[in-house]
């Protein structure tokens, strides 16, 4: 069963610490999205990539967040330094975005981050 894999599933850290979340998209998918979900804001688009190139990261606080795709099988979202307001569930989703665009995003199970 092809699926998007996210690690860690849960992370508790202290304010000021660096946090790195990882995502393995479905093999063959060339579009990767990062979303943040909170009760107050719902699902917010942080960044997305096509063919490993960042297309839009306007939703991401640039001073502390960074997103990369070191290779086609790994996407990372890093927060440094972390703050309590970053506590949320972070979702990665992948899809096929060229030629046969199916329009469907496949979501991972999320990384629940708690910053104390």
Residues that bind other proteins in the complex, under the rule CB under 8 A:
4, 31, 33, 35, 42-43, 45, 48, 50, 55-56, 91, 93, 95, 97, 101, 103-105, 107-110
| Residues 6+ away with beta carbon under 8 Å from 94 | 4, 23, 25, 26, 29, 31, 32, 33, 105, 106
Query: In terms of CB distance, is 16 or 101 closer to other proteins?
Result: 101
Nearest distance from C-beta of residue 72 to other proteins, angstroms:
18
Q: With H, G, I as helix, E, B as strand and everything else as coil, classify residue 85.
A: helix
DSSP 3-state assignment of 86?
helix
**Smallest separation (angstroms) from other proteins to the CB of 76:** 18
């Amino acid at each position: 069963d092809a699926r998007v894999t996210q690690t860690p599933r849960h992370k508790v850290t202290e304010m000021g610490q660096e946090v790195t979340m990882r995502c393995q998209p479905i093999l063959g998918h060339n579009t990767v999205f990062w979303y943040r979900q909170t009760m107050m804001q719902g699902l917010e688009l942080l960044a997305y990539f096509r063919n490993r190139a960042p297309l839009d990261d306007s939703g991401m606080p640039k001073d502390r967040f960074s997103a990369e795709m070191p290779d086609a099988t790994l996407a990372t979202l890093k927060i440094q330094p972390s703050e309590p307001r970053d506590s949320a569930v972070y979702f990665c989703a992948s899809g096929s975005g060229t030629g046969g665009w199916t329009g469907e995003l496949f979501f991972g199970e999320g990384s629940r981050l708690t910053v104390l």
